[in-house]
Amino acid sequence: MTLTFKHLIRMATFSLVLMSLTAQAQFWGNKKTELLPETEAFAMTAFIDGDQLRIQWSIAQDYYMYRDQFAVSSKTPGAEFGELVFPQGVVEQDPEFGEVVVYFFNADLTAPIKSLPSSGNQIELEVLGQGCNKPVGVCYPPQTRLITVDFVPPTTAGASPTATPGTSQNQQQAGFSAASTTDLDNSFWSYVVAAFFIGILLSFTPCVLPMIPILLAIIAGQHKPSKLSSGLLACCYVAGHVVVYAIAGWVLGKGGGQLQAYFQSPYVIGFVCSILVVLAISLFGAFKIQLPSSLQTKLSGAKPNSRSLSITAFVLGAISSLVVGACVSPLLIIAIGAAITLGDPVLGSAVMSALALGMGTLLIGLGFGAGWLLPKAGSWMNHVQVILGFLVLGAAIFIAGFIDLVPVLYFWSALLIWQGFYFWSLSTPMSSDVIKTLFRAVSVVMIIWGAAALVGAQFGGKDITQPLDSVRIGSINSAGGATIDKKLPFNRVTTVAEATQLLEAAKASKQPVLVDFYADWCLDCKRMQRTTFTEQSVHIALDNWLLIEADVTTTNDDSEALKKFFDVFGPPATLFIKANGDEHQNLRQYGYMNKDDFLTIVDQAKP
């Protein structure tokens, strides 16, 4: 009895702390739109490199700067520079100026040195630049920055400033390469650190939730759980994530392959679900998950159980991370955008590993906490294992829900009702009335919720948090008919030639165009087809639009060219093109959009 009470208190405390953390995280999440101070959004360094001045702007993620607003002038008499030379940037459409060149991440400017002062070793420069934040859509006032730049003065009295002697040339060369490396390192680490924090934020989203029961299940599988060994198991589990993400990052950085194709493939999801179901069955006590005995003897040393468990944890971590990718892909794309742009597999790997580590921080903490949380042994441990088994099944259902065809509410309903009766049976032998009634109350709630889910499932509902939503919508439907069966008249294209032909035609007839990047394996695309694109209001809003569906289901040269042509990472992406043929770049969307979000954007894109 004391055991019961103690563990109830512990579980309750722990879950409340978790929930309050989540509440705080959402609070900070909401404030994420907070804009950076201008010196962090647009950081600038300048130095002399041989016969030219180099100005390096490093631009924070989501921010960009305008080419035409860059300028530099010398505040030191005797120092003069030629015209600025710009790197190739991104062309944006501006309603007033037409094509405008902007830079994301980095802008590396050079200016030829016309002359340097004959004495001293420093010059003062005034550097101008101006930029904006893309997602929020706000601009910073034009920046004027003063910077002092070192230069190597002529070593001999006779040498002219421009004809620098060989020795100092070498020094400058050395100085430059050092400077450029540190600069690269800086931005490299800033991406990695940013990815780590994005990971931590992600761990408070439903994406990481299914990980928690899986991890707890592994921890509960130990013979003698201790705080330390549970924590180590959690580390193994997270290490599994990190390895998978590092590989994914390498692939993305190298070729920007269709990573989502693997993450969102029904085969991967099916595979992971079956693994989870097996895990749940083993937790129910049917058998013990163990490595094959031959492998076990090969790998194991003195402590066979703990080592094979660590390997199990690592493997399960690797497997389950495959699915989390499906859930967070739009954010993943943001995190890895830099690596893709730079085509740098090392950066890709580093960014993705940092993201995985960030997501794992909570899990590792949980692992060390779990040793304290879980009862040591005895019959209670068996009950805890069974409850974890239910939670793992829940995780499997949640993951299966990524596939649109799966009627998840039936599964949820079965799980909840089963679990409810299990809780009731737990309560029977209890001596304390308070605890007994608490358990029964919980079991009744579960059974009712399960029943509601069953009703919702009949009406084609999907969401376990709102099981009866579909019933409500269903009744509106029969009354007013908010959705229609007719498909939107999309023109399917698979090559750039087909796309340009349609775009030209639309331009000629002054028709706006919607381009939807679609693939069979893209679950969000399918979901949009099923929900948003069946809404009558959406059909009406898109009435005079030319609709293009860019199908990139099969990865080949054509699909790669198509993505490159529209400058899109991959599906789901929705582009809005004006009647004059220019794209509304600011309205471009990645990811799933519901009816309201979609209509708001169509409204903004209206000619």
Of positions 19, 193, 444, 445, contacts another protein by CB under 8 A: 19
What is the rounded CA–CA span in Å between residue 477 and residue 472?
Answer: 9
17 in contact with another protein (CB under 8 A): yes
CA distances (Å), origin 271, targets 266, 268, 279, 390: 8, 5, 12, 19
Q: Who's near 272: CB < 8 A, 6+ residues apart?
A: 319, 320, 322, 323, 396, 399
Report the residue number, 374 or 395, with the smaller CB distance to another protein.
374
434 in contact with another protein (CB under 8 A): no
Task: Starting at the earlier edge strand, list the strands of the sheet with 513-518.
Answer: 491-493, 546-551, 513-518, 573-577, 589-590
Tokens of 359: 């997501």
* Cβ atoms 187, 104 nearer than 8 A: no
Give the shortest CB-84-to-another protein separation in angstroms.
18
412 in contact with another protein (CB under 8 A): no
550 by DSSP, 3-state: which? strand
69 in contact with another protein (CB under 8 A): yes
Of positions 255, 492, 604, 607, contacts another protein by CB under 8 A: 604
Give the shortest CB-23-to-another protein separation in angstroms.
3
Report the residue number, 433 or 603, with the smaller CB distance to another protein.
603
Report the residue number, 438 or 455, with the smaller CB distance to another protein.
438
Report the residue number, 69 or 466, with the smaller CB distance to another protein.
69
501 in contact with another protein (CB under 8 A): no
What is the rounded CA–CA span in Å between residue 236 and residue 283?
Answer: 20
Of positions 124, 492, 600, 607, contacts another protein by CB under 8 A: 600
Measure the CA angle with vertex 589, ends 583 and 593; round to 5°. Answer: 135
Q: What is the DSSP letter of 485?
A: S
What is the rounded CA–CA span in Å between residue 12 and residue 10?
Answer: 5
Half-sphere exposure of residue 416: CA atoms within 13 angstroms, side-chain side: 21
Q: Site for another protein (CB under 8 A): how many residues?
A: 39
Q: x-or-dash pattern for another protein, window 467-496, by CB under 8 A?
A: ------------------------------
φ/ψ (deg, to 5) at 159: -70, 135
Of positions 3, 6, 303, 544, contacts another protein by CB under 8 A: 6
Of positions 83, 99, 543, 603, contacts another protein by CB under 8 A: 603
Report the residue number, 517 or 576, with the smaller CB distance to another protein.
576
27 in contact with another protein (CB under 8 A): yes
13 in contact with another protein (CB under 8 A): yes
Could you tell me which stretch among 12-20, 270-278, 425-433, 556-564 binds another protein (CB under 8 A)? 12-20
156 in contact with another protein (CB under 8 A): no
Q: What is the CA radius of gyration of the chain?
A: 30
Give the shortest CB-367-to-another protein separation in angstroms.
20
Give the shortest CB-36-to-another protein separation in angstroms.
9
Contact positions with another protein (CB under 8 A) in 93-152? 94-96, 100, 130, 132, 136-142
Give the shortest CB-132-to-another protein separation in angstroms.
7
Element (H, E) at 55: strand 52-59
Pairing of strands 98-104, 63-66: antiparallel
* Cβ atoms 356, 211 nearer than 8 A: no
Give the shortest CB-606-to-another protein separation in angstroms.
10
Contact positions with another protein (CB under 8 A) in 28-47? 30, 35, 37-38
Element (H, E) at 475: helix 469-480
Report the residue number, 159 or 435, with the smaller CB distance to another protein.
435
Of 440, 418, 419, whose CA–CA distance to 428 is shortest? 440
Tokens of 46: 């300048």
* Cβ atoms 372, 337 nearer than 8 A: no
Report the residue number, 204 or 590, with the smaller CB distance to another protein.
204
Give the shortest CB-418-to-another protein separation in angstroms.
29
16 in contact with another protein (CB under 8 A): yes
Give the shortest CB-92-to-another protein separation in angstroms.
8
φ/ψ (deg, to 5) at 280: -65, -45
Report the residue number, 552 or 593, with the smaller CB distance to another protein.
593
Where b means 16+ CB within 10 Å and e means fewer, 522-560 reads bbbbbbbbebbbbbeebbebbeebbbbbbbbeeeeebbe
* Interaction site with another protein (CB under 8 A): 6, 9-10, 12-13, 16-17, 19-24, 26-27, 30, 35, 37-38, 66, 69, 92, 94-96, 100, 130, 132, 136-142, 586, 600, 603-604
